[in-house]
Copies of this chain bind each other. A is one copy, B any other.
């Protein structure tokens, strides 16, 4: 074996303890709130059949799937002609039967259909797992990253949408992030397309409107024209795209504009109900009905959500919506669902940049015994066992190294307290406890020490 300079693939990351503890703080906070709202966890394998994944994310998505080379004779199904002619897309299917999970939504749909007889509907599930995309890596975009999804399938009730807003409010309250939650409804967008006589172009229209924030009004019009939306139609939409005022004013205005579209009006009703119900709580997120919110994904059919940090610009940190037909591709019709996904990596970036992580963590190490040698360590080990069984994360430096070296270790690890037990302390049955932040030292019995460090 030759020596290698070690490195990891582009777009992937190692996480040091300090980073992992912070990431786990985010995951644990989100998980606790999902559970408080009665969602239960599932897990699906990282490896799915390519037949499950292909064709679900568009052409771009198919290209960005990580594909796994078949084991054994991977050329078994190929022909020399295809190989020599580099018939890549055909060959891919022959070389690979499996791929890495691209998101948690398609595996969830597959899961619901596959296990429909073991599932209790309405099925409220959460799932926190990594996904992989062979995207070009860039700042804030990784090839391996976590999604935290929460969905309910098998219920049309708007209470589910409402609950997702409460979850958004609770999660970002716990994480200390000021947010704005944008709401819209695909039915309203369908209604608008219907009113202006461009129903068949609803996808193009929503994708164009979705870009308003990023590319500005003129470019949106340009894109609409490029998609063959007539100038008359664009003129008709104009007041809608420029809609302003309070949520109530927008609703009034739309109710008039959409008066001849049943689907449009039903979308307005849904938004109004959600806003009405949301007043039952003190929500800690600003709710804005934003008609330009469309979200690119085509499977949404009702409410759509998007959450942004108010104090740090990084795009959306949570988003989702209602989908009426996600499971039908796997053979199960008429199962409506609604869900949102929290972007843990972006949330991490927001919290890092705004310094929002709590200073102390229950997961880090609180106490270290200095190691003075064999006699002392034999005395300290049972004390340490007692301290640990009181739930205090603690350790003894494993070697009789120089005191300075041991102290540097404790400092670097961010350990708050150091215990010193030499011959005097052994004779007195005491422990000298040093607070590493203040430098204060006290001579304590084992019980006093545990009391001091537990409260």
Contact = CB atoms under 8 A, between A and B. Distances in A.
A7 B144 contact: no
A245 interface: no
Interface string A15-57: 1110011011000000000011110111111111101100110
A227 interface: no
Contact of A144 (B38, B45, B330, B377): B45
Contacts of A119: 16
14 contacts: A8-B44, A8-B110, A20-B42, A20-B43, A35-B363, A69-B96, A74-B92, A80-B83, A120-B413, A157-B398, A159-B377, A159-B381, A160-B398, A166-B385
Interface stretch (A122-130, A188-196, A309-317): A122-130
A92 B69 contact: yes
A102 to B, nearest CB: 13
Contacts of A56: 1
B41 A9 contact: no
Interface stretch (A349-357, A389-397, A434-442): A389-397
Contacts of A394: 36, 38
A75 interface: yes
B144 A46 contact: yes
Interface residues of A, number: 113
A280 interface: yes
Given A55-B1, A381-B281, A398 B155 contact: yes
Given A331-B4, A394-B38, A46 B132 contact: yes
A169 to B, nearest CB: 10
Contact of A331 (B6, B8, B111, B159): B6
Interface in A334-386: 363-365, 368, 371, 377-378, 381-382, 385
